[in-house]
Structure 1
């Protein structure tokens, strides 16, 4: 990928490791009120529609910067939204299981999670704070796996530079909502999105394609596998133990009938594992580079998941 100049980014230098904020975790540890998560039987939880984020948009509303969120969950349930463990909104889903909320953007780092409470439809959510230690009697609470991260690079040179907004879940491809680079690395109809990986070398490649077909992935110059573009234009490839430590090129190629097509290449670097004593401390850290960001965060049960995003050519 050519190192073109990106407006608003600090040029030169290597990664700046920054602990954006402490207490961000996918494991349920919070710094705010203690939110009881039910130990209900698995069959009860399995019968409920889990809470997910289907749409996220950053925009100005009435002169303030907000995130407009929507998703699905169990019909007539209550959704509690948390930012770094602090309750920020509480809404009820419709009879169709649809919910929406608008939250103010605050600070340079946000990590928004959702907890679903399956409560009686007669419960007045304006009068009942479901983040208290004594929830509504009989309520079943289920923590969602997805987290919305909003990360703003702290710099006085470009205070209005776009933030990174992404939806992430353990073991799943990260969905980029907004890139701080203003776009994705692309060639023709093909684009590379986020690359997610763990400390064992497992990796999830993902991207977009405006054309249907198959995507072939290369690590350095070795082809590691292929995947098909989905009906929605997204593609994902999951592999295990294929990412050695160090820096090298990762390529994606869209295959046509002749077996050839556009190629997108990005300079990937797999960072070394963090010490085990630090992998569960609930912090999120970011390596900022002019043409690449890497986000590392704790996972449920231990370990970390890292996400690399790249500037367009």
Structure 2
């Protein structure tokens, strides 16, 4: 399988041996105002607002350190608060066209950035009045996880955008690429504790992709106009380790296939699932990221080395 560079890849979508189940634990830091406002009742007015979303994410190095450059869409003229695990780190305003951008200094080896939108149509004396009835929590979260080693102190960080029920958009891989064979590539595999799964990837040609789990075909999906494909299934992923395989079955690249060594990890105990932590299992050829979801439940994402 050839290496496919994905640094800076925009969504619309470590070779050193590391100890299995070694992890970064990102404890949930609380910001009372943001959490209470975002989780409280949402009025019909707030529900009609355009929620905040991330459209572009990239990382650059400066003299002071790494910086994440973010941009996205939101309700025109709204105020957007960016939070890292509940702690407010930055506040920006969307333009009259609903476009916003920000630069976030990278802090530590793990970040989980989400956004809260505030409707600013109600103003008093020129000052913005923000209430619990005018806020919407975004559903997307940007994860940045860095695992430097003595041999690779400048190894790239994992950067991905995740949302419940949607394929993870892999922006930058710590392995420098994703598994590929010919025109076909596999990106992230998302799954929950019930066995539901979302497969996703890329294809340089149009056609249909067939998915197999442990040598059993589970279904087909079409490659989209943007070259991305995804397949969603429920309760098809048994516990344990086995191969997941994608194959182009028609079109100019028919026959191209790529497989990855997937492992579905067992559910975490409820006491760990509810504490808001983000954990990572590191292996030489795959990382698995596990996090709690807003409203309850856990979601895991597996990413793989090119070879």
Q: TM-score, structure 1 length as denominator?
A: 0.87
Length, aligned pairs only: 293
Describe the shift of the 1:261–1:80 C-alpha distance in structure 2 as closer, same or farther (beyond 3 A).
Answer: same
On the 8 A contact 1:195/1:203 being kept in 2, the answer is: yes
Given that residues 57 and 69 in structure 1 are in contact (C-alpha distance below 8 angstroms), is that contact kept between their aligned partners in structure 2?
Answer: yes
Matched, 1:108 2:114: no
* Corresponding residue SS for 1:20: coil
- Aligned-pair distance for 1:225? 0.3
CA distance in 2, matches of 1:40, 1:296: 28
The Cα of 1:62 is off from its aligned counterpart by 5.3
Question: Do the aligned residues in 2 keep the contact of 1:111 with 1:149 (CA within 8 Å)?
Answer: yes
Q: Please, what is the CA RMSD of the aligned residues?
A: 2.3
Mean CA deviation greater in 270-279 or 183-192: 270-279
Question: Within 5 Å, which residues of 2 pair with 1:149-160?
Answer: 149-160=143-154
Of residues 190, 201, 208, the one that matches 1:207 is: 201
Cα gap change, 1:99/1:139 in structure 2, threshold over 3 Å: closer, same or farther? farther
Q: Following the alignment from structure 1 to structure 2, what is the Cα–Cα distance between the partners of residues 182 and 67?
A: 18
Structure 1 match to 2:249: 255
- 8 A Cα contact 1:199 1:304, kept in partner: yes
Aligned mate of 1:246, from 221, 240, 246 = 240
Q: Match for residue 5 of structure 1?
A: none
Which residue of structure 1 lines up, in the alignment, with residue 187 of structure 2? 193
* SS of aligned partner of 2:271: helix
Which residue number corresponds to residue 83 of structure 1? 84
Give the counterpart of 1:21 among 23, 26, 41. 26
Within-5 A mapping of 1:1-313 = 9-11=15-17, 14-23=19-28, 30-35=29-34, 36-37=37-38, 38-41=40-43, 43-61=44-62, 63-120=64-121, 136=130, 140-257=134-251, 260-313=254-307
Whether the 8 Å contact between 1:74 and 1:97 is mirrored in structure 2 is yes
Aligned equivalents of 1:138 and 1:275: distance in 2? Answer: 33
Tell me by how many angstroms 1:146 deviates.
Answer: 0.6
Q: Report the counterpart of residue 27 of structure 1 in structure 2.
A: none
Runs (5+) with no aligned partner, structure 1: 3-7, 24-29, 129-134
* Gap regions ≥5 residues in structure 2: 3-13
**Residue 14 of structure 1: how far off its partner (Å):** 4.7
Distance 1:137 1:85 in 2: 18
Query: Post-superposition shift, 1:60?
Result: 1.9
Change in 2 beyond 3 A, CA 1:258/1:194: closer
**TM-score of the two chains, using structure 2 as the length reference:** 0.89
SS at match of 1:18: coil
